[in-house]
């Protein structure tokens, strides 16, 4: 572990709590929207990959719109883990019935729950690995209250279709002990980067706590040279300077393509010797808001994005790209309920209609809290996160340049799995204090 310069993670926690009164009978009418239908030639795992990818882009769009347009949100930078959210909501479907289940499946772009049960293990089992320059780890926990046990069928489903280690019974009456154990689980899973995932008050009425932690740490395949880092101005989307940043620089052969349909350029910076994981940097054309590019990306096939990046290496194999990227480091703490409601998950959060009879026959529980805490560090050595097109190379005499001196988006992806692990935007990187 000594080779890693920095550390970070992404964590999502869901709390399912008892209501104070008697639950009303839930409606069981089918959802009106249509889940994603994948091509018939795709395997079950490939369908699940595509479902997770579609969810990730829709999730990314909703988060950026919330941050950009909600006056109550004061942050501008974003780091979220769509994969953690998708992963945990997949577990939640095991306890849901009726319209509650249909809304979850539709938002997850899943045709039927059997699709999750049959292919969840082969899809997710490769998302934990460690080698000399990259570490990726993911864990899921369903923490139950020993004093109010869940149904045996729910226990059986989690152990059979997911992972027997996912169940973590605790005594919620012993608040201090449970509080310490849960936060220790999170801290261990994120290499100590998130130490307080829950508060003691979260346990007072909690029936279940579902936790997903995703940790990533990686060195760039080609690190930036610190001696080339300089202070330069960073502008807002109206091209007005907001301050000075530490701008990293390097020149190398990287996948780099222009996307006319997206009004953007995308640069890929790989991690590690095997280049399995990489960061996609998304730079809108001047005058185009980043949120508009992300909206277009939702309806754009990610396979086309990768195809154009791969083609750029073939068509322009001798062309080096000048990369100017600011250092940035930030954390976030989001309540995901407004975002998930925008994506069509509504009944699960309604104390009067949520249908989780598979968890408890009393059916007196609902999703009361969905919190995601994330942290991201990008520097010269690498990254830590706990996240019809034409080529752009017109003049071979001048090296093409990716200049991130204004707001840009990013995705951290698993290339073989076509999975978006982290997503975000940088509108205000760490500014240099010259005073």
Place of tokens 């069509």: 344
Name the token pair of 326.
């600011």
Task: Read off the pLDDT of each residue in 18-29 and give the average, rounded to a whole number.
Answer: 36
How high is the pLDDT of residue 204? 78
Task: Read off the pLDDT of each residue in 105-129 and give the average, rounded to a whole number.
Answer: 90
Handedness of CA 413, 419, 422, 424 (dihedral sign): positive
Task: Read off the pLDDT of each residue in 264-281 and give the average, rounded to a whole number.
Answer: 93
Task: Read off the pLDDT of each residue in 292-304 and give the average, rounded to a whole number.
Answer: 93
How high is the pLDDT of residue 332? 78
More reliable by pLDDT, 2 or 243: 243
More reliable by pLDDT, 43 or 430: 43
Name the token pair of 92.
């939640």
Task: Identify the bridge partners of residue 78 per DSSP, sorted by sequence position.
Answer: 425
Residue 17 has pLDDT above 50, yes or no: no
How high is the pLDDT of residue 79? 86
Q: Which of 21, 84, 339, 369 is nearest to 201 (CA)?
A: 369
| pLDDT tens for each residue of 132-161 | 888 887 878 888 888 888 888 988 998 899
Residue 3 has pLDDT above 50, yes or no: no
More reliable by pLDDT, 434 or 178: 178
How high is the pLDDT of residue 363? 56
Task: Read off the pLDDT of each residue in 311-316 and give the average, rounded to a whole number.
Answer: 85
**End-to-end alpha carbon distance in the chain:** 36
Task: Read off the pLDDT of each residue in 334-348 and give the average, rounded to a whole number.
Answer: 90
Q: If you average pLDDT over every residue of the chain, what do you get?
A: 81
Listed range (171-180, 210-219, 268-277) with the worst mean pLDDT: 210-219
Task: Read off the pLDDT of each residue in 1-6 and give the average, rounded to a whole number.
Answer: 29
How high is the pLDDT of residue 143? 84
More reliable by pLDDT, 197 or 98: 98
More reliable by pLDDT, 85 or 332: 85
CA distance 2 to 301: 38
Q: What is the pTM of this model?
A: 0.86
How high is the pLDDT of residue 9? 34
Task: Read off the pLDDT of each residue in 159-175 and give the average, rounded to a whole number.
Answer: 87
Residue 31 has pLDDT above 50, yes or no: no
How high is the pLDDT of residue 84? 87
Q: Which long-range contacts (CB under 8 A, 24 or more apart) does 148-156 make?
A: 148/172, 148/207, 148/360, 150/95, 150/208, 150/359, 150/360, 151/358, 151/359, 151/360, 151/361, 153/358, 154/94, 154/95, 154/358, 154/359
CA distance 370 to 244: 36
Q: Where are the extended beta strands (E) located within 253-351? A: 256-259, 264-270, 277-284, 321-326, 328-335
Residue 127 has pLDDT above 70, yes or no: yes
386 falls in which pLDDT band (50, 70, 90)?
A: low
CA distance 256 to 269: 9
How high is the pLDDT of residue 374? 75
| pLDDT tens for each residue of 199-216 | 888 787 788 888 877 788
> Which residue segments constitute the domains of the chain, with CATH numbers given?
43-219+329-377 (3.30.497.10), 226-326+398-426 (2.30.39.10)
| pLDDT tens for each residue of 392-410 | 223 334 568 899 999 999 9
Percentage of the chain beyond pLDDT 90 is: 40
Residue 20 has pLDDT above 50, yes or no: no
The conformation of residue 133, written as its DSSP 8-state character, comes to S
| pLDDT tens for each residue of 345-385 | 999 888 888 888 888 776 578 888 777 777 777 777 766 66
Task: Read off the pLDDT of each residue in 299-313 and give the average, rounded to a whole number.
Answer: 91
């Amino acid at each position: 572990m000594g080779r890693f310069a920095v550390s970070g993670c992404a964590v999502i926690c869901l709390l399912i709590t008892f209501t104070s009164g008697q639950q009303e009978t839930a409606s069981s009418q089918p959802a009106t929207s249509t889940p994603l239908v994948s091509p018939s030639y795709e395997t079950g795992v490939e369908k699940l990959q595509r479902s997770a990818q579609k969810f990730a882009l829709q999730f990314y769009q909703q988060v950026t719109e919330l941050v950009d347009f909600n006056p109550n949100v004061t942050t501008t930078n974003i780091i979220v883990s769509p994969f953690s959210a998708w992963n945990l909501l997949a577990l939640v479907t095991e306890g849901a019935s009726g319209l509650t289940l249909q809304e979850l499946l539709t938002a997850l772009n899943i045709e039927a729950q059997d699709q999750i049960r049959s292919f969840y293990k082969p899809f997710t089992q490769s998302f934990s690995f460690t080698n000399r320059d990259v570490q990726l780890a993911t864990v899921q926990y369903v923490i139950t209250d020993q004093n109010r046990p869940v149904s045996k069928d729910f226990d059986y489903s989690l152990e059979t279709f997911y992972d027997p280690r996912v169940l973590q019974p605790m005594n919620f009456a012993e608040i201090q002990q449970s509080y310490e154990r849960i936060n220790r689980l999170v801290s261990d899973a994120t290499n100590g980067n998130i130490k307080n995932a829950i508060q003691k008050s979260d346990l007072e009425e909690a029936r279940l706590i579902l936790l997903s932690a995703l940790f990533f740490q990686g060195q760039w395949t080609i690190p930036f040279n610190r001696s080339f880092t300089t202070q330069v101005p960073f502008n807002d989307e109206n091209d007005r300077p907001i301050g000075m940043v530490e701008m990293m620089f390097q020149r190398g052969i990287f996948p780099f393509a222009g996307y006319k349909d997206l009004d953007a350029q995308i640069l890929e910076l790989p991690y590690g010797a095997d280049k399995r994981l990489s960061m996609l940097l998304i730079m809108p054309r001047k005058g185009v808001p980043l949120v508009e590019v992300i909206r277009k990306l939702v309806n754009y096939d990610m396979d086309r994005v990768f195809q154009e990046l791969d083609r750029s290496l073939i068509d322009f194999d001798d062309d080096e790209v000048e990369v100017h990227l600011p250092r940035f480091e930030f954390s976030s703490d989001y309540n995901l309920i407004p975002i998930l409601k925008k994506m069509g998950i509504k009944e699960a959060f309604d104390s009067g209609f949520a249908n989780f009879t598979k968890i408890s026959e009393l059916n007196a529980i609902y999703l009361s809290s969905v919190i995601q805490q994330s942290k991201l560090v990008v520097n010269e050595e690498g990254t830590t996160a706990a996240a019809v097109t034409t080529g752009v190379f017109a003049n071979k005499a001048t090296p093409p340049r990716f200049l991130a001196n204004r707001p840009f988006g990013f995705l951290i992806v698993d290339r073989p799995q076509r999975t978006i692990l982290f997503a975000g935007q940088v509108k205000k990187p760490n500014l240099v204090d010259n005073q």
